[in-house]
Structure 1
Amino acid sequence: MTTELLLAFIAFAFVTSVTPGPNNMMLLASGVNFGLRRSLPHMFGISLGFMLLVASVGLGLGQLFEQVPLLYDVLRYLGAAYLLYLAWKIANSGAPDSQATTRSKPFSFLQAAAFQWVNPKAWIMAIGAITTYTPQENFVVNVLLIAALFALVNCPSVGLWTVAGSLLRNWLSNARALRVFNIGMALLLVASLYPIFADTGLL
């Protein structure tokens, strides 16, 4: 991999990781509702899960979807349904010290890692990384390098949203303000599904 291609990929990884999407909306909400420390497993789970997704796409899963497009469609719909469920959970989150939040928990490391496999934006990012930035020479080595670099860039990028959420935590100590914030985050999470619904002709 040339230096120019490597720098271009790092820029791609940063921009796609830091821009709004399901992971970042959930981390922002998690930072507000649970704080930075309790949201760390969620952050690290996203990066590791995404690294495994990129590697899997590069090592053959992407070719499987090309041969059986129905599998990709099923995955997209399952992901959309799960995101709607998560949006409902976020909208109904309680205040940080309320009994409702005491009963609820932030995403665990494994939950966040597993979520990447049904996250539509993650699939688009992974396929784009492999098809655009992975040289064919020494392909397997380059796939593993791309996957590892993406995780290294992704973790601090999504972490910015968690930090932003934790900084807003004190400002949203009022139960009504937090309720409005959580509903807004839920609506933004639903809005992130627009490309899926538009692609299917439902919008």
Structure 2
Amino acid sequence: MAELLGPLLLFAVVMVVSPGTNNVLATTSGLRFGLRASLRLLAGLGLGVVSLVVLAALGLGFVVTAVPHTQTVLRALGTAYLLWLAVRILRSGRPGPAAARDARTFTTGLLVSWLNPKVWVLALSAVAGYSAIAADPLVLAAILGGVFAAVIVPNLLLWCSCGQLLAAKLTTDHHWRVANTVLAALLVVSVVPIWLE
């Protein structure tokens, strides 16, 4: 068991830190609203990832892979939601003085994670690759959940902080349009791998 914890931690870091939908949204929120106003969103994103990993370890992964068309439905719902978010980011301008009150909510973060096929792949891969860590599904769920929580919290804080630092450099409406366009495009591009798997 102990010999698998190092590789599991490395797997979690690679899967969580790599650019993707959750990290783009964390960066965008930091850019538009700042770290403090983004904490609810970050909590939703983080809990969404950890809860899917835990549920996959408890058997949900079997249901998703066994029931026909479940993966296609998840991909379609996830794609639609992420494209809707991308359009909202693209249409947004420079944040005004009251922008923090418009920050994304905990529920938004949770939905983004739950509808994000990359997170489903992460959860199912973690269970498939590291189920030898514990025979008891509850113990496996606790270990996987703990490792992913330990990785995702600092990761989301870092991506969000980078967005906040970038916001200080955006001094004109043109800069904001460019930043919003790039972030919306990154969100759209993050959808492509969903359909290539």
1:98 Cα shift? Answer: 6.3
The one-letter code sitting in structure 2 at the alignment partner of 1:137 is A
Using structure 2 for the length normalisation, give the TM-score. Answer: 0.92
The partner residue of 1:172 within 159, 170, 173 is 170
Comparing 107-116 with 121-130, greater Cα deviation is found at: 107-116
Distance in 1 between residues matched to 2:160 and 2:138, nearest whole Å: 33
User: Within the alignment, does 1:80 sit opposite 2:83 as a pair?
Assistant: no
2: CA distance, partners of 1:111 / 1:195 = 21
TM-score normalised by the chain length of structure 1: 0.90
Q: CA deviation at 1:145?
A: 1.5
In structure 2, runs of 5+ residues without a counterpart are none
Q: Which residue of 2 aligns with 1:118?
A: 115
Structure 1 vs Structure 2 CA RMSD: 1.7
Aligned counterpart, 1:65 = 64
- Structure 1 counterpart of 2:21: 22
| C-alpha separation in 2, matches of 1:173 and 1:96 | 12
- Work out the CA distance in 1 between the residues paired with 2:137 and 2:41: 30
Check whether the contact 2:118–2:194 (CA below 8 A) recurs between aligned residues.
no
Query: Corresponding residue for 1:32?
Result: 31
Distance in 2 (alpha carbons) for counterparts of 1:119 and 1:87: 14
Q: How many residue pairs get matched?
A: 196
Deviation at 1:195, TM superposition (A): 1.6
1:166 to partner: Cα distance: 0.4
Residue 163 (structure 1) aligned with residue 161 (structure 2): yes
SS in structure 1 of the partner of residue 69 of structure 2: helix
Q: Partner of 1:45 in structure 2?
A: 44
What is the alpha-carbon distance in structure 1 between the residues aligned to residue 79 and residue 55 of structure 2? Answer: 21
**Residue number in structure 1 paired with 2:142:** 144
Q: What residue is the counterpart of 1:186 in the other structure? A: 184
Aligned partner of residue 95 in structure 2, secondary structure: coil
Aligned residue identity for 1:114: L
Q: What are structure 1's unaligned runs of at least 5 residues?
A: none
Moved more, 19-28 or 111-120: 111-120
Task: Tell me the CA shift for residue 8 of structure 1.
Answer: 0.9
CA distance in 2, matches of 1:194, 1:156: 26
The separation in 2 between residues aligned to 1:41 and 1:196, in whole angstroms, is: 26
Q: State the identity %.
A: 39
Return the offset for 1:113. Answer: 1.7
Of the candidates 130, 138, 161, which is equivalent to residue 133 of structure 1?
130
The letter for the 1-side match of 2:195 is F
Runs of 4+ off more than 6 Å: none
Deviation at 1:114, TM superposition (A): 2.7
